[in-house]
DNA sequence: ATTAAATAGGACTAAAATCATCCTGAATGT
DNA sequence: ACATTCAGGATGATTTTAGTCCTATTTAAT
């Protein structure tokens, strides 16, 4: 349907949540699920998948939890999404040359290639660290709307 | 899955096929289906849909067929795809403001907006007329590869 | 008027994807 | 030992995808 799945969306939320924590913080599934409004049991599966994909590490047992395998500035939005959704191909024929035998003479093919390139460029150029910063700005903005004076002391 | 469906792909093929015909030509389902490698009975449904969407007109009965409702230079790739797939939203929260209540503070939202804008830009800036031209160039190119000498007399 | 040629439209279906839930097992800190 | 967490498998409801097939209707030609 040319739309990301809930899996992808939830994965981004989870990674973003962890990215916003102080380094070394262990996050619990229930905590992430509640904060990011993701069904708890569903998120469990997604976290497992993210661990397997190598983006997240986990510790089992009491005082266990999840934490990022890399620093937030080293994780792009694309990586977060593709870790769960798999590589993105706007049309099936983009998977690889020859996947569709029409790609040799189909004039639409190069349009999809360009569209995909531009889409990826956007997702590649946004790191989790940047998103956390953006979120802080948004928070500051909505706070300003409520209390127009006195900028917040901590940023 | 962030991928266009067969419906969308087949619709583009069908419209492209009609765009490549001399004006006034009536195209038959079976003819388009064979040329564009689309299952005949499936294409039938897609053509119906394209007629309802107003992109294509039809004439029933003997000597009937399909033809474009507008000139190829007035039909963009986006219009062809969206006529069948409906409006494209890379994430469900882009459908409209407030569709997802997180859009106010979610820092990913504006990234999806930009990604979508760039994707649409690519699809908007390609008309069926241009694609037909591109196809002719591709044909000429592969023809050149087979017979490196003697450029084709008709273009 | 008959008939052949076409599209229109509805019913139906198999397979896969989507979006989850629930339970058991394994690991780990106290 | 025990409470706490994640790991992983089984299950399932619903929707989407990607078709097929049959009948009805319209139209042109004879
Ligand atoms: S073969 Fe890739 S779009 Fe046509
Ligand atoms: S609300 Fe739109 S991406 Fe998060």
B73 CA to centre of ligand 2 in angstroms? 35
In this predicted structure, what is the pLDDT of residue B141? 78
Q: Is B132 on the interface with A (CB under 8 A)?
A: yes
Place of tokens 């409209």: B96
**pLDDT tens track for A78-126:** 999 999 999 999 999 999 998 999 999 999 999 999 999 999 999 999 9
State the helix-helix crossing angle for B109-124 and B77-85, rounded to 10 degrees: 120
In this predicted structure, what is the pLDDT of residue A84? 97
> For residues A58 and B148, what is the distance between their CA atoms, to the nearest angstrom?
60
In this predicted structure, what is the pLDDT of residue A141? 77
**pLDDT tens track for B1-54:** 999 999 999 999 999 999 999 999 999 999 999 999 999 999 999 999 999 999
Q: Return all residues near B140 (Cβ < 8 A) that are at least 6 apart.
A: B151, B152, B155
CB of A40 within 6 A of ligand 1: the answer is no
Chain B interface, best mutation among A1, A100, A130, by max B CB count within 10 A: A1
CB of A106 within 6 A of ligand 1: the answer is yes
**pLDDT tens track for B99-138:** 999 999 999 999 999 999 999 999 999 999 999 999 999 9
pTM (predicted TM-score): 0.92
**pLDDT band per the 50, 70, 90 thresholds, residue B155:** very low
SS3 A74: helix
| Contact criterion met (CB < 8 Å) for B4 and A3 | no
Instruction: List the single protein residue with the shortest CA to C1' distance from C28.
Output: A61
> For residues A149 and B18, which has the higher predicted lDDT (pLDDT)?
B18
């Amino acid at each position: 349907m040319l739309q990301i799945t809930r899996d992808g969306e939830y994965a981004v939320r989870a990674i973003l949540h962890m990215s916003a924590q102080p380094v070394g913080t262990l996050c619990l599934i229930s905590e992430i699920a509640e904060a990011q409004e993701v069904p708890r049991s569903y998120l469990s599966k997604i976290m497992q998948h993210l661990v397997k994909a190598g983006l997240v590490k986990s510790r089992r047992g009491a005082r266990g939890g999840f934490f990022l395998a890399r620093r937030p500035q080293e994780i792009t939005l694309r990586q977060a999404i593709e870790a769960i959704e798999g590589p993105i191909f706007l049309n099936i024929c983009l998977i690889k040359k020859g996947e569709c035998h029409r790609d040799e003479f189909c004039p639409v093919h190069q349009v999809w290639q360009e569209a995909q390139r531009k889409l990826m460029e956007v997702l590649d150029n946004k790191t989790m660290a940047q998103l956390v910063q953006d979120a802080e700005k948004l928070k500051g903005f909505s706070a300003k709307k409520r209390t127009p004076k006195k900028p917040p002391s901590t940023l």
